[in-house]
Amino acid sequence: MTTLDELAIALAAEAPRPAADFARRLDERVAAGFPRKRPVLKLPRVALLGSAAALVVAVVVAVSLIGGSGTSTKSSGASTAAGSSEAAPQSATADSGTKALSAPRSSAQVAPSIKVPAPPLTRLTPRHVERSASLTLAATRGKLDSVANQVVAVVDQHHGYVLHSTVTSGAGGGASFDLRLPVGRLQSAIADLSKLADVRSRSQDLNDVTSTYNATEDRLATQRALRQSLLKQLAAATSQSQTDAIRQRLRLVTADIRSLSARFDSLRQRTNYASVEVSLVPQRAEPVATEGGLGGDFHDALRSLFDSFGIALRVLGVAIPLAIVAALGWLGWTTLQRRRREAALF
């Protein structure tokens, strides 16, 4: 044999041989003509996990529904048995044992109903607001006194009072009123006052003093309670030094109570009554139109001339700076062009 034949024999001897089982299955597939396997549908893991979770949820819901229906049935049966026992108390001897045995089971299966108390209603604290208004009326000179009297009548009609008033007669006549009106009748009173003469101006202001009002009221109540306690201590005092100390503190508390009472009364008065200032001024006469004629035309011409002159001055005031800026720009541009031409020549 040649060298090549020896090499082929050596390679054939070194080649791996398949296992007997694998060779048998390969021969069977060759004899069958290599049949195709049916495709197996493989679902992704996410879909499998989702299907399993949905199945578990469905089972839990079904079990809970079945348990709830059974509980309701048993509780209704217990209530029915209780109703029948109340309707027929004479037959309770035979059924007492059965009810005693069934009662614990029904109580264990049916959860007791817990009554949740309703939340307490919060008490709304009333607001304490200071209200003030200002009103300016204009009337002819001959009606100033009459309108002033009507202002006072309107205040009396709305159960208010005049705190201060000033009425001036003559050429520069007028009147001013400082009024106090109940808060509940403020708007109607202002409407009635506005009907007395021509209204030149009208305004209203609000100032919330609830915090100051409540703090003063609480402090006053605390000091009054302290005063009562000091009076009791003074009655029970056994020594002169103790009596003097209690009396000294009692004087301080009493002075504080007086100050707080005055402040609280002022706040209550300002929140119960609105402050209204009414000013009555003479009505100015309407300008009388001048008669026509040559004099009127001359005055109109002069007025038109002055108006035109003023307009011309305004136009010049705008045009002159613009013209100066334009001239400077043109001069700079021409100078630059000339220098460029000179540079090109040299």
120 pLDDT above the threshold of 70 = no
Which carries the bigger pLDDT value, residue 93 or residue 340? 340
Sequence-distant (6+) residues with CB within 8 A of 26 are 18
- Supply φ then ψ for residue 327, to 5 degrees: -65, -45
Measured between alpha carbons, how far is 111 from 235 in angstroms, rounded to an integer?
A: 62
pLDDT tens digits, one per residue of 123-179: 467 888 999 999 999 988 788 888 888 999 999 999 999 988 888 876 667 889 999
122 pLDDT above the threshold of 70 = no
pTM for this model (two decimals)? 0.43
Radius of gyration of the CA atoms of the chain, in A: 54
CA neighbor of 95 nearest in space, from 84, 104, 105: 84
20 pLDDT above the threshold of 70 = yes
Domain locations in the chain? 127-286
DSSP letters spanning 75-137: HHHHHHHHHHHHH-GGGHHHHHHHHHHHHHHHHHHSPPPPPPPPPPPPPPPPP-EEEEEEEEE
pLDDT tens digits, one per residue of 224-278: 999 999 999 988 888 999 999 999 999 999 999 999 999 999 999 989 999 999 9
Q: Which pLDDT score is estimated for 132?
A: 92
